[in-house]
Amino acid sequence: MKIMAIDLGDARTGVAISDPSGFLASPLTVIHEKDPAALLEKVAALALEHKPGQIVIGYPKHMSGDTGDRAKGAETFAENLSKTSGIKTVLWDERCTTVMAHQALNQTNTRGKKRKNIIDAVAATIILQDYLDYLKNAEK
């Protein structure tokens, strides 16, 4: 089953997708959208196009594990996306994924505008790969 992941942002939202076997996550796109309703429509359209069996939404917890306004926004988005698309959504802890994405792009020497344009998709890919790895380990 393909799984899609979303890294929500204020202006840019990263999207990643797995292969049909659920083994490998790959960046799909970055959606440049500030309006939450328009973002919901665009993500739902991508879900309709790619037909994932599940959508993972990055859940931005504080390092202490507490949740704040951004986490509540992710909860609302996940609920609305599930209603709109008819696809089950899962919230997944995204602490440190942006840092990891920056480190990955440092290793490939990706800089400037190109880096800014893909960082969110890389973060979504990290969220998704972490979730896929969790599923593999849970099956054992």
Residues 91-124 pLDDT 10s: 998 865 665 665 665 666 655 665 566 778 888 9
Residue type, 16: A
Residue 111 pLDDT: 59
Residue 76 pLDDT: 97
Question: Structural domains in the chain?
Answer: 3-139 (3.30.420.140)
* Residues 14 and 122: beta-carbon distance below 8 Å: yes
Give the three-state DSSP class for 132. helix
* Per-residue H/E/C for 39-94: HHHHHHHHHHHHCCCEEEEEECCCCCCCCCHHHHHHHHHHHHHHHHHCCCEEEEEC
* pLDDT tier at 16, thresholds 50, 70, 90: very high
Q: How far is the C-alpha of 123 from the C-alpha of 131, rounded, in Å?
A: 12
Q: Give the predicted TM-score (pTM) of the model.
A: 0.85
Tokens representing 133?
């790895």
Q: How far is the C-alpha of 62 from the C-alpha of 83, rounded, in Å?
A: 27
For residue 21, pLDDT beyond 60? yes
* Residues 68 and 33: beta-carbon distance below 8 Å: no
